[in-house]
Amino acid sequence: MRDYEFYYTQDGSIGLYSYEDHDVYHSKFGALTEAWEKFVMPSGIEKKLNTVDNIRVLDVCYGIGYNTKALISYVINTDEKLLKKEKNFKLKIKNIIKKYFPILINIVSIDDNNMNIKDERLSNPNETRYSKIYVDCLEIDKTLVKISPLLKTIITPQEIYTKIVPKIFDCFSLYWKIKKFIGKCFKFLAPKNKKEIRELLDLRFNNDYDEIENEYRINSLTNYIIIDSLINHYKNNYFDDDLKKIVKDRKFRKYFAPYLIKYAKFKQDFRYNFIARFNLASFLHNIYYDHLSKRYNKIKSKDIEGLFKLNFFINDARKSILELNGEYDYIYLDAFTFTKAPQLWSVEFIAELYRHLSPTGLIMTYSNSALVRNTFIENNFYVGKICDKKTGKFIGTVASKEKSMIEFPLSNYELGLCSTKAGIPYHDETLSSTKEAILKRREIEFKTSDLMSSSKYLKYRRDKLLEGLDDEEQI
């Protein structure tokens, strides 16, 4: 773990850098935002949620779990029943104010329209139902998986301000404006990246984080759900000596949330070592979690834990994929770039993903490269682009067995690019070749190929454009 370095990405979420691989695990523009924009949102999960019984997701390259965390948070946040409970709090405040200080209702602007909608929802508790979410997470690095739910989620100035100002102000519409303004004033409180890492990763912001949108926030229950799943997976080996060392390490300590560490320790001791290690601390923790902790009680009261079933496969994804059964509705493919991890972009590995994708399922990946797209095409997928709805930019690739699932198909120009030399895919028939062997094999194919080079193709397209023969695309 000493070979890693944590850093804050521009949305305030924590990213990871590996000195060994000389590579970042997350976008410096926002580890969490990337998970939402490239994996959760393009999946269109909202159409399935609460209308089907089960949704199955495969997270290939779980890392520190942003994609799975973003998914769980999305499901919880959009879940009508849970929202009802949160809004109930505001209703209670409104009723108290109405009863004891009726005059205040006219002075402070309380959002009455919203309240009515919430009132209606509350009166009809059977109006929604839950889908059960199964997530299988594949990752080779056990340490990353173990630390994933213990990391602080987000540390923007706004977040700090939210902690300082009591929740009671939540019910005033003015609150959001004040919050935004004071958030800016509290900028100096936001944590800074170390100078060395700022220079190494060319992080141009300092503690000037972009405000993360509400919908992108990690729901506070998410980490509890992951901890519980990891304790189920590892039994009494989850919070082991190695993990204890990492969370206490001076280099990493500030990135971990003490309350999540306490919860993990308590949960493991309570479940597996409670009688052997009975002491006052465990006893008090027990009372705290069972009766006082609001967050934990929220999980219990709504049986949120039961809604999610997370399985962890800690091995080379090429081996894990062979152990999996059934089909997935969504596959998140978040491997390192293909020159660093060609094993997970080979025709044969993608063929395994094809085998495990449901007929209307979707594979999402951040890569826009001709090689990756062509590997999908070679496996008979329909291929399209992930569009960032705000900027209109294409930020990734999506593949499906069903044509109608592709919202933004590849253009003729992009399809042409896939059939140049740039699109020559990797091969790994045995799903066990070394990275070097896979790279070498493609290099030889590339050199001996008769296909057009991508630069020649670009020139050819440009000439055609100038001749006015093909004005379909910009190059």
Q: Residues interacting with ligand SAM, by CB under 6 A?
A: 25, 35, 61-67, 138-141, 144, 316-317, 334-336, 341, 343-344
Query: Residue 55 contacts by C-beta under 8 Å, 6 or more apart in sequence?
Result: 45, 48, 49, 131, 132, 133, 134, 329, 330
CB 16 within 8 A of CB 64: yes
Of residues 4 and 130, the one with the C-beta less far from ligand SAM:
4
Shortest distance in whole angstroms from residue 265 CB to ligand SAM: 23
Shortest distance in whole angstroms from residue 387 CB to ligand SAM: 21
Shortest distance in whole angstroms from residue 439 CB to ligand SAM: 14
Shortest distance in whole angstroms from residue 94 CB to ligand SAM: 39
Of residues 65 and 425, the one with the C-beta less far from ligand SAM:
65
Of residues 140 and 438, the one with the C-beta less far from ligand SAM:
140
Phi and psi at 319, nearest 5°, equal -85, -45
In 393-443, the DSSP E strands lie at 394-400
Of residues 138 and 410, the one with the C-beta less far from ligand SAM:
138
Query: Residue 131 contacts by C-beta under 8 Å, 6 or more apart in sequence?
Result: 48, 49, 50, 51, 52, 53, 54, 55, 75, 307
Report d(CA 85, CA 125) in Å as an integer.
Answer: 11
Shortest distance in whole angstroms from residue 27 CB to ligand SAM: 9
Structure tokens belonging to residue 140: 């080779």
Of residues 71 and 399, the one with the C-beta less far from ligand SAM:
71
Q: How far is CA 160 from CA 87, 179, 443, in A?
A: 22, 10, 51
Report d(CA 24, CA 7) in Å as an integer.
Answer: 10
Q: How far is CA 345 from CA 136, 215, 328, 336, in A?
A: 19, 31, 18, 9
Shortest distance in whole angstroms from residue 32 CB to ligand SAM: 9
Report d(CA 16, CA 72) in Å as an integer.
Answer: 21
Shortest distance in whole angstroms from residue 175 CB to ligand SAM: 32
CB 371 within 8 A of CB 360: no
Which residue reads 């069972």 in tokens? 290
Shortest distance in whole angstroms from residue 326 CB to ligand SAM: 20
* Closest residue to ligand SAM, based on beta-carbon distance: 63
Cα of 38 vs its chain's centroid, Å: 9
Query: Residue 87 contacts by C-beta under 8 Å, 6 or more apart in sequence?
Result: 118, 121, 122
Of residues 339 and 453, the one with the C-beta less far from ligand SAM:
339
Of residues 74 and 130, the one with the C-beta less far from ligand SAM:
74
Query: Residue 441 contacts by C-beta under 8 Å, 6 or more apart in sequence?
Result: 426, 427, 433
Shortest distance in whole angstroms from residue 26 CB to ligand SAM: 6
User: Which amino acid makes up residue 280?
Assistant: L
Of residues 140 and 212, the one with the C-beta less far from ligand SAM:
140
Of residues 139 and 329, the one with the C-beta less far from ligand SAM:
139
Shortest distance in whole angstroms from residue 384 CB to ligand SAM: 21
Report d(CA 287, CA 300) in Å as an integer.
Answer: 14
Of residues 35 and 110, the one with the C-beta less far from ligand SAM:
35
Element (H, E) at 87: helix 80-100
